[in-house]
A = this chain, B = another copy of it.
Amino acid sequence: MTKVPMARPSSRRAFLKGGLAGAAAVAASAGAARAGGETVITEVQDWARYPGDGVDARPYGRPSPFEAHVVRKNVPWLTSDTISSVNFTPLHELDGIITPNGLCFERHHAGIAELDPAAYRLMVHGLVEKPLVFTLADLKRFPRENRIYFLECAANSGMEWRGAQLNGCQFTHGMVHCVMYTGVRLRHILEEAGVRPDGKWLLAEGADASAMTRSIPMEKALDDCMVAFAMNGEALRPEQGYPARLVVPGWEGNMWVKWLRRLEVGDQPWHHREETSKYTDLLASGKARRFTWVMDVKSVITSPSPQAPIRHGKGRMVLTGLAWSGNGRIERVDVSLDGGRNWKTARIDGPSLPMALHRFYYEFDWDGSDLYLQSRAIDEKGLVQPTKDQLRAARGPNSIYHNNGIQTWHVDKEGVVENVEIS
């Protein structure tokens, strides 16, 4: 084995500290040349010769510089200002069912609020026996639970109501993430204040400058809702509502109020902006669907996809994607290679948890021909993911939210993938 020098050559560490460009330069200088698309290794690589950073170098770790392309992305023309907008989880780059905290999509209306946890307060008032104000430390004295749940914005895939618009599952489906939440069952907090018999609805309000609000029926509030303070083991991220947010399992994302500051118990819904002007869908009849709380059964193939073309040519390959439902577990996912004429059952792998993302795989031999890839999920209640045409027929042309239609990707002979719609 090559003897490892104890001294760390400063030039190499300087290379690496220079980031991706530096690392690529290291690879090139260390005898790795590209031939026919694949790197050819001609000598021992630097990482096998020289020591790297020690255990005091990264108190909080970060991804490899070679993963710098794996980021949240926003679409600048979607809104008039980035402080009231959304960005998208890079689904095409991820695997499994857990979304790492730094890549969870963001949706906020006054930018990221940076709360001081010592000054954080949660007020519970209205039709309760005793109004209360909790500190974060108070909340942590109630019994806790840990649950893996997906969170999907009701506007996810909303652009696609009008046809194949955005070229990538990050943009068509990326307003979804899935983490393990730790927090307190909302029921404990409401029982502490004592909900009066006429208390039938709950208003949740956030502490950021947009002070978002939603009305939640008391049955749901007392069921599985949580006040969460951790995601994937650590404190919530600021953009996900640090230090505490509401979790409303399986229901519309904007009900999961971030930077939760107030819970008011009432006897009717409040009909605030975010459940009247927004988050309703106008039907052809002139009436609007409202209080469409449950996120419907849905799936999408994340690879191959427009941002994840097939690069290895013909032969054995892995198709993968995600499926989820606000109704509980996913029972089955079918995959089609020919635009929905023939379906095969995909393999769901890993833990199957209610109202969490499910990961499916379909392994097959690609013969290099054109493909029209689709996935179709069926949840534990037997509900089947519809086509976009079926949705349009049922809802009319003016919907913005709740587009859970089947997604089609076209793969050409070079492995290039495109967002398409087919009848």
Instruction: List residues of A whose CB falls within 8 A of some B CB.
Output: 1, 4, 8, 16, 23-24, 26-27, 32, 34, 38-39, 41, 45, 47-67, 70-74, 76, 81-83, 85-87, 93-104, 106-108, 110-119, 121, 135, 137-138, 140-148, 179-182, 207-211, 230, 232-235, 237-239, 242-243, 259, 311-312, 315-318, 320, 347, 349-351, 353, 359, 361, 363
Contact = CB atoms under 8 A, between A and B. Distances in A.
A412 to B, nearest CB: 20
Contacts of A363: 143
A64 B114 contact: yes
Contacts of A67: 234-235, 242
A141 B318 contact: yes
Contacts of A141: 312, 315-318
A51 B234 contact: no
Contact of A114 (B52, B111, B238): B52
This chain: copies in complex:
2
B234 A70 contact: yes
A260 B67 CA distance: 18
A239 B60 CA distance: 11
B103 A61 contact: yes
B182 A233 contact: no
A50 B209 contact: yes
Nearest to A240: B61
A15 to B, nearest CB: 9
A131 to B, nearest CB: 16
Contacts of A110: 4, 50-52
A145 to B, nearest CB: 5
Contacts of A34: 118
Contacts of A24: 116
Given A82-B54, A318-B143, A61 B104 contact: yes
B140 A318 contact: yes
Given A207-B45, A239-B58, A103 B234 contact: yes
B51 A83 contact: yes
A295 B245 CA distance: 37
A48 B116 CA distance: 12
